[in-house]
Protein backbone atom coordinates (compact mmCIF):
# COMPACT_ATOMS: atom_id res chain seq x y z
CA UNK A 1 0.00 0.00 0.00
CA UNK A 2 1.50 3.25 -1.10
CA UNK A 3 1.83 6.06 1.47
CA UNK A 4 1.64 9.75 0.58
CA UNK A 5 4.25 12.00 2.15
CA UNK A 6 3.32 15.55 3.19
CA UNK A 7 4.66 18.30 0.95
CA UNK A 8 7.95 19.65 2.17
CA UNK A 9 8.69 23.39 2.28
CA UNK A 10 12.17 24.54 1.49
CA UNK A 11 13.42 27.45 3.56
CA UNK A 12 16.27 29.57 2.31
CA UNK A 13 19.45 28.91 4.16
CA UNK A 14 20.62 31.73 6.35
CA UNK A 15 23.35 33.75 4.81
CA UNK A 16 26.70 33.05 6.29
CA UNK A 17 28.28 35.89 8.20
CA UNK A 18 31.36 37.45 6.71
CA UNK A 19 34.62 35.89 7.73
CA UNK A 20 35.73 37.03 11.14
CA UNK A 21 32.70 39.18 11.79
CA UNK A 22 29.07 39.27 12.83
CA UNK A 23 26.14 39.26 10.41
CA UNK A 24 25.62 42.54 8.61
CA UNK A 25 22.60 44.41 9.89
CA UNK A 26 20.74 46.72 7.60
CA UNK A 27 20.24 50.22 8.84
CA UNK A 28 16.67 51.39 8.95
CA UNK A 29 15.89 53.75 6.12
CA UNK A 30 14.84 57.34 6.71
CA UNK A 31 11.30 57.77 7.88
CA UNK A 32 8.85 58.98 5.34
CA UNK A 33 7.99 62.63 5.55
CA UNK A 34 11.35 63.64 6.98
CA UNK A 35 12.66 66.48 4.86
CA UNK A 36 9.45 66.56 2.85
CA UNK A 37 8.96 69.63 0.65
CA UNK A 38 5.58 70.16 2.32
CA UNK A 39 7.38 70.74 5.64
CA UNK A 40 10.06 72.98 4.17
CA UNK A 41 7.67 75.35 2.39
CA UNK A 42 6.32 77.03 5.58
CA UNK A 43 9.87 77.42 6.90
CA UNK A 44 11.06 79.05 3.69
CA UNK A 45 8.03 81.32 3.58
CA UNK A 46 8.64 82.40 7.18
CA UNK A 47 12.31 83.11 6.49
CA UNK A 48 11.45 85.11 3.37
CA UNK A 49 8.92 87.19 5.30
CA UNK A 50 11.45 87.82 8.06
CA UNK A 51 14.10 88.83 5.52
CA UNK A 52 11.64 91.19 3.82
CA UNK A 53 10.74 92.75 7.18
CA UNK A 54 14.43 93.49 7.79
CA UNK A 55 15.62 94.44 4.30
CA UNK A 56 12.66 96.52 3.10
CA UNK A 57 12.89 99.30 5.76
CA UNK A 58 16.60 99.67 5.05
CA UNK A 59 15.96 99.84 1.30
CA UNK A 60 13.18 102.38 1.81
CA UNK A 61 15.50 104.52 3.97
CA UNK A 62 18.24 104.49 1.32
CA UNK A 63 15.81 105.32 -1.50
CA UNK A 64 14.25 108.16 0.50
CA UNK A 65 17.70 109.66 0.92
CA UNK A 66 17.81 110.21 -2.87
CA UNK A 67 14.39 111.90 -3.14
CA UNK A 68 13.13 115.42 -2.67
CA UNK A 69 10.45 116.54 -0.24
CA UNK A 70 7.68 116.42 -2.84
CA UNK A 71 8.49 112.80 -3.65
CA UNK A 72 8.75 111.85 0.01
CA UNK A 73 5.17 112.94 0.71
CA UNK A 74 3.69 112.42 -2.75
CA UNK A 75 5.12 108.95 -3.53
CA UNK A 76 6.54 107.59 -0.27
CA UNK A 77 6.69 103.98 -1.57
CA UNK A 78 7.95 104.77 -5.06
CA UNK A 79 11.46 104.97 -6.42
CA UNK A 80 13.12 108.38 -6.86
CA UNK A 81 12.97 109.91 -10.34
CA UNK A 82 16.60 111.05 -10.08
CA UNK A 83 19.35 110.02 -7.70
CA UNK A 84 19.99 113.26 -5.85
CA UNK A 85 23.48 112.92 -4.43
CA UNK A 86 23.31 116.50 -3.21
CA UNK A 87 21.30 115.23 -0.23
CA UNK A 88 24.38 113.35 0.98
CA UNK A 89 26.51 116.44 0.35
CA UNK A 90 24.10 118.47 2.49
CA UNK A 91 24.32 115.85 5.24
CA UNK A 92 28.10 116.15 5.04
CA UNK A 93 27.86 119.92 5.54
CA UNK A 94 25.57 119.41 8.53
CA UNK A 95 28.34 117.49 10.32
CA UNK A 96 27.44 113.85 9.76
CA UNK A 97 31.10 112.99 9.11
CA UNK A 98 32.15 114.57 12.42
CA UNK A 99 29.54 112.55 14.32
CA UNK A 100 30.54 109.44 12.39
CA UNK A 101 34.21 109.93 13.27
CA UNK A 102 33.41 110.33 16.96
CA UNK A 103 31.30 107.17 16.94
CA UNK A 104 34.07 105.21 15.21
CA UNK A 105 36.68 106.35 17.75
CA UNK A 106 34.51 105.65 20.79
CA UNK A 107 33.23 102.32 19.47
CA UNK A 108 36.65 101.03 18.41
CA UNK A 109 38.28 102.01 21.70
CA UNK A 110 35.51 100.45 23.77
CA UNK A 111 35.68 97.23 21.71
CA UNK A 112 39.42 96.87 22.37
CA UNK A 113 39.03 97.59 26.10
CA UNK A 114 36.03 95.32 26.61
CA UNK A 115 37.46 92.32 24.77
CA UNK A 116 40.90 92.55 26.39
CA UNK A 117 39.74 93.15 29.97
CA UNK A 118 37.00 90.53 29.72
CA UNK A 119 39.35 87.94 28.21
CA UNK A 120 41.90 88.54 30.97
CA UNK A 121 39.23 88.26 33.66
CA UNK A 122 37.72 85.14 32.13
CA UNK A 123 41.14 83.48 31.86
CA UNK A 124 41.93 84.23 35.47
CA UNK A 125 38.57 82.88 36.67
CA UNK A 126 38.82 79.67 34.65
CA UNK A 127 42.55 78.80 34.67
CA UNK A 128 44.14 80.39 37.73
CA UNK A 129 43.63 79.56 41.37
CA UNK A 130 42.24 82.90 42.46
CA UNK A 131 41.06 83.16 46.08
CA UNK A 132 37.30 83.73 46.33
CA UNK A 133 36.90 83.21 42.58
CA UNK A 134 33.20 82.35 42.85
CA UNK A 135 32.27 85.45 44.90
CA UNK A 136 34.31 87.56 42.48
CA UNK A 137 32.43 86.05 39.54
CA UNK A 138 29.09 86.73 41.22
CA UNK A 139 30.19 90.30 41.94
CA UNK A 140 31.09 90.82 38.28
CA UNK A 141 27.83 89.30 37.08
CA UNK A 142 25.98 91.52 39.53
CA UNK A 143 26.82 94.39 37.22
CA UNK A 144 24.22 93.00 34.81
CA UNK A 145 21.50 94.11 37.21
CA UNK A 146 22.58 97.77 37.24
CA UNK A 147 20.56 99.94 34.88
CA UNK A 148 22.63 102.65 33.17
CA UNK A 149 19.90 105.26 33.58
CA UNK A 150 19.78 104.74 37.36
CA UNK A 151 23.47 105.66 37.65
CA UNK A 152 23.31 108.87 35.60
CA UNK A 153 23.43 111.30 38.54
CA UNK A 154 26.34 109.74 40.49
CA UNK A 155 28.26 109.16 37.25
CA UNK A 156 27.73 112.78 36.25
CA UNK A 157 29.24 113.94 39.55
CA UNK A 158 32.10 111.43 39.32
CA UNK A 159 33.05 112.50 35.79
CA UNK A 160 33.07 116.14 36.85
CA UNK A 161 35.40 115.40 39.78
CA UNK A 162 37.81 113.47 37.53
CA UNK A 163 37.75 116.08 34.72
CA UNK A 164 36.41 113.48 32.28
CA UNK A 165 33.09 115.21 31.64
CA UNK A 166 32.58 116.32 28.04
CA UNK A 167 35.36 114.10 26.70
CA UNK A 168 35.46 110.96 24.58
CA UNK A 169 37.13 109.13 27.47
CA UNK A 170 33.94 109.47 29.50
CA UNK A 171 32.01 107.43 26.96
CA UNK A 172 34.82 104.94 26.38
CA UNK A 173 35.17 104.19 30.11
CA UNK A 174 31.43 103.90 30.70
CA UNK A 175 30.82 101.75 27.62
CA UNK A 176 33.61 99.45 28.79
CA UNK A 177 32.52 99.24 32.42
CA UNK A 178 28.86 98.51 31.72
CA UNK A 179 29.60 95.79 29.14
CA UNK A 180 32.35 93.90 30.95
CA UNK A 181 29.96 91.73 33.08
CA UNK A 182 28.12 90.28 30.10
CA UNK A 183 31.30 89.87 28.04
CA UNK A 184 33.11 88.09 30.89
CA UNK A 185 30.16 85.73 31.24
CA UNK A 186 30.22 85.01 27.50
CA UNK A 187 33.98 84.45 27.17
CA UNK A 188 34.20 82.44 30.40
CA UNK A 189 31.54 80.03 29.15
CA UNK A 190 33.58 79.52 25.99
CA UNK A 191 36.90 79.05 27.83
CA UNK A 192 35.41 76.33 30.04
CA UNK A 193 35.13 74.13 26.96
CA UNK A 194 38.70 74.58 25.77
CA UNK A 195 41.07 71.63 26.35
CA UNK A 196 43.59 72.17 29.13
CA UNK A 197 46.12 69.69 27.75
CA UNK A 198 47.58 72.18 25.27
CA UNK A 199 48.13 74.77 27.99
CA UNK A 200 49.64 72.21 30.35
CA UNK A 201 52.02 71.04 27.63
CA UNK A 202 53.11 74.62 26.99
CA UNK A 203 53.69 75.21 30.70
CA UNK A 204 55.80 72.05 30.91
CA UNK A 205 57.88 73.29 27.96
CA UNK A 206 58.68 76.43 29.91
CA UNK A 207 56.07 78.91 28.65
CA UNK A 208 54.83 81.51 31.09
CA UNK A 209 51.17 82.18 31.84
CA UNK A 210 51.35 85.33 29.75
CA UNK A 211 52.70 83.41 26.76
CA UNK A 212 50.07 80.70 27.17
CA UNK A 213 47.32 83.30 27.17
CA UNK A 214 48.52 85.31 24.16
CA UNK A 215 49.77 82.42 22.00
CA UNK A 216 47.30 79.64 22.81
CA UNK A 217 44.15 80.71 24.64
CA UNK A 218 43.59 84.04 22.91
CA UNK A 219 43.79 82.61 19.34
CA UNK A 220 41.51 79.71 20.33
CA UNK A 221 38.92 82.22 21.58
CA UNK A 222 38.78 84.07 18.27
CA UNK A 223 35.12 83.13 17.47
CA UNK A 224 33.77 84.25 20.84
CA UNK A 225 35.93 87.38 20.78
CA UNK A 226 34.43 88.27 17.39
CA UNK A 227 30.95 87.79 18.83
CA UNK A 228 31.78 89.95 21.84
CA UNK A 229 33.27 92.65 19.61
CA UNK A 230 30.18 92.79 17.38
CA UNK A 231 27.83 92.94 20.35
CA UNK A 232 29.89 95.73 21.85
CA UNK A 233 29.92 97.59 18.52
CA UNK A 234 26.13 97.35 18.34
CA UNK A 235 25.79 98.70 21.87
CA UNK A 236 28.31 101.55 21.60
CA UNK A 237 27.14 102.62 18.13
CA UNK A 238 23.51 103.05 19.19
CA UNK A 239 23.90 104.12 22.84
CA UNK A 240 22.01 107.35 23.54
CA UNK A 241 21.56 108.31 27.27
CA UNK A 242 25.26 108.45 28.19
CA UNK A 243 26.18 110.25 24.97
CA UNK A 244 23.42 112.81 25.59
CA UNK A 245 24.19 113.53 29.25
CA UNK A 246 27.99 113.30 29.44
CA UNK A 247 28.98 115.05 26.18
CA UNK A 248 27.95 118.64 25.59
CA UNK A 249 30.45 119.78 22.94
CA UNK A 250 28.96 119.48 19.44
CA UNK A 251 32.36 118.49 18.10
CA UNK A 252 32.43 115.40 20.35
CA UNK A 253 28.87 114.14 19.91
CA UNK A 254 28.33 110.63 18.57
CA UNK A 255 25.85 109.65 15.87
CA UNK A 256 22.67 109.09 17.96
CA UNK A 257 22.90 112.50 19.62
CA UNK A 258 24.25 114.17 16.49
CA UNK A 259 21.32 112.95 14.40
CA UNK A 260 18.90 114.47 16.91
CA UNK A 261 20.77 117.77 16.69
CA UNK A 262 20.67 117.57 12.88
CA UNK A 263 16.92 117.00 12.93
CA UNK A 264 16.38 120.13 14.98
CA UNK A 265 18.43 122.12 12.43
CA UNK A 266 16.95 120.58 9.28
CA UNK A 267 13.33 120.80 10.47
CA UNK A 268 11.41 119.48 7.39
CA UNK A 269 14.30 118.56 5.08
CA UNK A 270 13.58 114.84 5.33
CA UNK A 271 15.67 113.61 2.35
CA UNK A 272 18.85 115.03 3.91
CA UNK A 273 17.89 113.45 7.22
CA UNK A 274 17.42 110.05 5.59
CA UNK A 275 20.72 110.47 3.77
CA UNK A 276 22.39 111.04 7.14
CA UNK A 277 20.68 107.94 8.55
CA UNK A 278 21.97 105.92 5.60
CA UNK A 279 25.52 107.08 6.26
CA UNK A 280 25.10 106.20 9.94
CA UNK A 281 23.89 102.66 9.22
CA UNK A 282 26.34 101.62 6.50
CA UNK A 283 29.47 101.06 8.68
CA UNK A 284 27.70 98.80 11.17
CA UNK A 285 25.94 96.81 8.43
CA UNK A 286 29.26 96.31 6.63
CA UNK A 287 31.01 95.17 9.82
CA UNK A 288 28.25 92.69 10.60
CA UNK A 289 28.25 91.25 7.08
CA UNK A 290 32.01 90.75 7.23
CA UNK A 291 32.00 89.10 10.65
CA UNK A 292 28.67 87.29 10.70
CA UNK A 293 30.22 83.82 10.36
CA UNK A 294 32.45 84.24 13.42
CA UNK A 295 29.65 86.03 15.26
CA UNK A 296 27.10 83.23 14.87
CA UNK A 297 29.66 80.48 15.53
CA UNK A 298 31.10 82.09 18.63
CA UNK A 299 27.73 83.07 20.07
CA UNK A 300 26.29 79.59 19.54
CA UNK A 301 29.30 77.82 21.06
CA UNK A 302 29.63 80.24 23.96
CA UNK A 303 25.98 80.17 25.03
CA UNK A 304 25.78 76.40 24.46
CA UNK A 305 28.69 75.71 26.76
142 domain-assigned: yes
Asked, for residue 283, whether it belongs to a domain, the answer is no
Lowest mean pLDDT among 34-43, 135-144, 179-188, 272-281: 34-43
Per-residue model confidence (pLDDT) at position 288: 81
Asked if the model's pLDDT at residue 295 lies above 70, the reply is no
pLDDT band for position 283 (cuts 50, 70, 90): confident
pLDDT of residue 82: 84
In a domain, 25, yes or no: no
pLDDT at 26: 55
The answer to whether residue 77 is domain-embedded is no
Whether residue 229 is contained in a domain is answered as yes
At residue 168, the pLDDT reads: 93
pLDDT at position 117 is: 94
**Mean pLDDT across the chain:** 83
157-191 pLDDT per residue, tens: 999 999 999 999 999 999 999 999 999 998 998 89
DSSP track, 236-275: HHH--HHHHHS---GGG--HHHHHHHHHHHHTT-HHHHHH
Q: Among 27-41, 67-81, 104-118, 273-287, whose mean pLDDT is lowest?
A: 27-41
Q: Which of 259, 250, 253 is nearest to 280 (CA)?
A: 259
Residue 30 lies in a domain: no
Comparing CA positions, the residue from 261, 284, 233, 270 lying closest to residue 61 is 270
Instruction: Say which residue, 33 or 220, is predicted with more confidence.
Output: 220
**More reliable by pLDDT, 266 or 253:** 253
List the domain range (segments joined by +) for residue 194: 105-267+295-304
Q: For the chain, how many structural domains are there in total?
A: 1
Largest CA-CA distance found in the chain, in angstroms, rounded: 127
Cα-based distances in Å from 232 to 176, 195, 238, 239, 257 = 9, 27, 10, 10, 18
Mean pLDDT of 199-207: 88
pLDDT average, residue stretch 69-73:
84
Give the CATH number for residue 165. 1.10.3720.10
Average pLDDT for 126-137: 84
pLDDT-based confidence at residue 141 (cuts at 50, 70, 90) = confident
Q: Look at residue 1 and tell me if it is in a domain.
A: no
The answer to the question of residue 45 being in a domain is no
Phi and psi at residue 36, in whole multiples of 5°? -70, 145
Q: What percent of the chain has pLDDT over 90?
A: 30
Amino acid sequence: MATTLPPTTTEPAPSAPPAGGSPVRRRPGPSRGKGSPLLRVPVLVGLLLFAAAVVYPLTWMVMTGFKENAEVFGRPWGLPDVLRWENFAAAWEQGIVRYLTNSVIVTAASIVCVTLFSAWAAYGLTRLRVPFSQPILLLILGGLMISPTVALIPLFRLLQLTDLYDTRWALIILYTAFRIPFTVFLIRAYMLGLPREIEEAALIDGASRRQVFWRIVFPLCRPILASAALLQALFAWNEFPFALVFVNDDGLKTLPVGLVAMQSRLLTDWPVMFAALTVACLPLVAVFLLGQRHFIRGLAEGTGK
